[in-house]
Chains A and B, each alone.
Chain A
Amino acid sequence: MTSLKTLQEEMKGLVFYPKHERSTSFLWKDGLPKRLDVYRNNTRLNWADALDQDFAMTRRQFTKDEWQELCKKYFVQHPPASWELNTALSPFVKFLSTQNLRTYVKELADYEWHDLQSFIHRAIVKKGTRITNPTAMAQVFKHQIFDWVEKGAPEGKPPEKKPEVLVFFRDSKLACHILEADPLMLLMMDHFRKPGRTLEGLETARQKLLPQNVIPLHRVFKQLLLQEILL
C-alpha cells in the first residue's frame, strides 16, 4: 500500500506547475481521474492570481501568453515556499533578473515589490522614538520609474533612463509613501537607524562622506520628522 508520504509527494508532482504535464500516476492505474484538474486549476490559478495582483503593472508589460509562460517558468523553479502567498512570491524579482527582459520591466517589478513590503511591514511606526522609520527602504533605480508608474506605466512609452533613488515607507497613520531621496537624506536615514544617535554625530559622518554638502542638518532633520522618515 502506498505510504502517506509517497502519496503526498506524488500529488505534489501531479498538481504543482510541471515542466511537462503528467498524464499517468501509479496512484491510479486506469488513468488520472478527470477531477484531478480541479486541484491543478485551483492550485495554479491561486498562485498565478497572486502574481498577477502583486505585480499588476509588471504584468501589463507582457502579452497574456508571454505572462503565462513567465508565470509557469517562475513557479516551476519557485513553488510557494511559504504559507503566506504574498511572501511566497519573494523570489520573483530575483527570478526576473535572470530573464532576458528590458531593465525597466525588472525595475518595475522591484518597485511594486517594495511598495507591497512597506504596506505589510510588521514594524510598528511610532512617532517620537527619534529613530529612522523601521518600514523605510531605499532602492536605486536606473530609470525614472516613479513618474512612469504615475502615468500608468504605459507600455509604448518606457521610462526615461536616468537614475533615481526612492524611499518606500509607511507612516504612523498607515499611509504608504514613496519619496525621492538624496545622499544626505540617505545618510540621515542610515545614521538614525540606531537609537540614541545625535545630529552632532551625523555632522562628523557628513564631513567625511559628503564634504561638499553644507545644508543645515537641523533643517533636513525637521523635514524628515515631518515626513515621518524619521520618527
Chain B
Amino acid sequence: MRKVHFRELKSTPLSIGWLEIVPENFMNFGGFPQAMLDRCAAQWPVVSHGVNLSIGSVDPLNEDYLERLRAVLQRTKALWYSDHMCFSSVGGEYFHDLLPLPFSLEAADHVIQRVKILKKKIDLPFLLENPSYYVPMPGAEMSEADFFNKVLEESDCGMLLDVNNVYVNSKNHDFDARQFIRELPLHRVGQIHMAGHLDRGDVVIDTHEGPIIDPVWDLYRFTMEAIGRPVSTLIEWDTNVPLLAEVVAEAQKAQKIVEKMGLYSPSPKKVVPSRIDAGPWRYRKLRKPRSALGRGSVRGEGCEVMPSRLAERREAVMI
C-alpha cells in the first residue's frame, strides 16, 4: 500500500492479507506517519522491506539506523524483514538508490559477515532481494546466481526473489531468466516481489509502474512451479499508483496462479502483502495565527480544515 491508499484502507471491503512496509518511511517520523503505521499494524500482519540498510557497503553498519529499524519491527510485530543485495551508501553519504555489487569473492564475504552481524542484532528472519541492475560491476568472479547461493548459504539467510527484477536483468544483460531462476537457492525463498517496468528500448527500467506484463506473469508461473510451495507474493506499484482495488486485483492474479497450480495460498500470517508507506500524505487543520492573549493583531478566527498549502512530503523509498 502506498500513502494514497490510506483513506481507502481505513474502510476497505477488499480482502487484504498482510502489508509490507518500507521501514525508512516510519523510522524517523512521529505524528501522522506513526499513527498510520500503528493503525495498520493493529489490523494486518506486517513485513518490512527496507531500502537503506546498505548491506554491501564498506561503511560500518549504521547503528542508529539499526536501532530505529529494530524499534519499527518490534512496534509492528513484523513477521520478517528484508532489504537488497546492494550498496546504497559510501562514506556516510547515501545514494537513495540501489547500487549493484560486483559478483566477487570479496563482496560475497563482506556481505556474509555483515548478515551474520545483523542476525545477532535483530532476532527476526532476514531476506535479501535480488535487485535490478543496469551496469554489471567490474571484478566479477562468479555468476549472479552463484553469488546469491554463496551469500545466502554461508550466512544462512533467506531470499526475497523479485521476479520482475530477474526479467528486467535478463533483458538488459541478455541471459535466460528461467535458467537463472533454476540456479538460485529456491529453498531459501521466503517472499516474492512482482512489479511493472518500463521498456525504453535501449534499456528496461524497474519502475514499479503499471500492470505486470504477461511475460513476467509467465516467469512467475515458472518460478512457483520451480519452488513447488506457496510463497507470499507482493505486488510493488510505486509510480502512478492506481486505486487500491487495482493493486489488490493484481495480487489476486498471483493468488489464482498459485491456487491453480494446486498450491494452497499461504495462511493469513504469511499471505500476499500490499505495500505501505506513510510519507507525506496529509490533510491538516491550519489555524490562522492569532494572538494567544486575544490582543494585538488578530488575523483570523477559529480554524478550518483544508489540504495543506505546503508541499506534500517525499517518502524515503526510492525504488
Contact = CB atoms under 8 A, between A and B. Distances in A.
Contacts of A84: 24, 27-28, 52, 316
A101 interface: no
A87 B90 contact: no
B99 A54 contact: no
A171 B27 CA distance: 20
A88 B313 CA distance: 13
Contacts of A150: 288, 309
B102 A7 contact: yes
A179 B297 CA distance: 12
A96 interface: no
A50 B314 contact: yes
B99 to A, nearest CB: 6
A182 B293 contact: yes
A123 B285 CA distance: 19
B57 interface: yes
A199 interface: no
Nearest to A152: B309
A86 B314 contact: yes
Contacts of A219: 293
A226 B90 CA distance: 48
B301 interface: no
Contacts of A88: 94, 96
Interface residues on A, range: 35 or more
Contacts of A49: 314
B46 to A, nearest CB: 19
Contacts of A8: 57-58, 87, 90, 99
A215 B52 CA distance: 53
B318 A119 contact: no
A114 to B, nearest CB: 10
11 contacts: A11-B90, A35-B134, A47-B96, A85-B315, A112-B311, A120-B33, A179-B287, A179-B292, A182-B291, A215-B295, A220-B293
Nearest to B110: A4
Interface in B11-47: 24, 27-35
B94 A80 contact: yes
A22 interface: no
Given A7-B139, A170-B31, A178 B93 contact: no
A164 B106 CA distance: 58
Nearest to B28: A84
Interface string A31-42: 001111011001
A176 interface: yes
B89 A83 contact: yes
A7 B311 contact: no
Interface of B: 24, 27-35, 52, 54, 56-58, 62, 65, 87, 89-97, 99, 101-102, 104, 106-107, 110, 134-135, 137-139, 172, 202-203, 205, 280, 282, 284-297, 299, 303, 308-316, 318
A42 B87 CA distance: 15
A147 B289 CA distance: 9
Given A82-B94, A83-B24, A147-B299, 20 more contacts: A4-B110, A5-B58, A7-B138, A15-B95, A42-B318, A53-B312, A54-B311, A56-B310, A81-B93, A81-B94, A85-B96, A119-B32, A122-B29, A124-B30, A174-B35, A177-B287, A179-B290, A184-B292, A185-B292, A185-B293
A223 B294 CA distance: 9
Nearest to B32: A174
Contacts of B290: 179-180
A43 B92 CA distance: 16
A46 interface: yes
A161 interface: no
A205 to B, nearest CB: 16
Contacts of A180: 289-291, 296-297, 299
A211 B31 CA distance: 38
Nearest to A134: B30
B313 A54 contact: yes
A99 to B, nearest CB: 20
Given A38-B205, A83-B316, A85-B318, A115 B293 contact: no
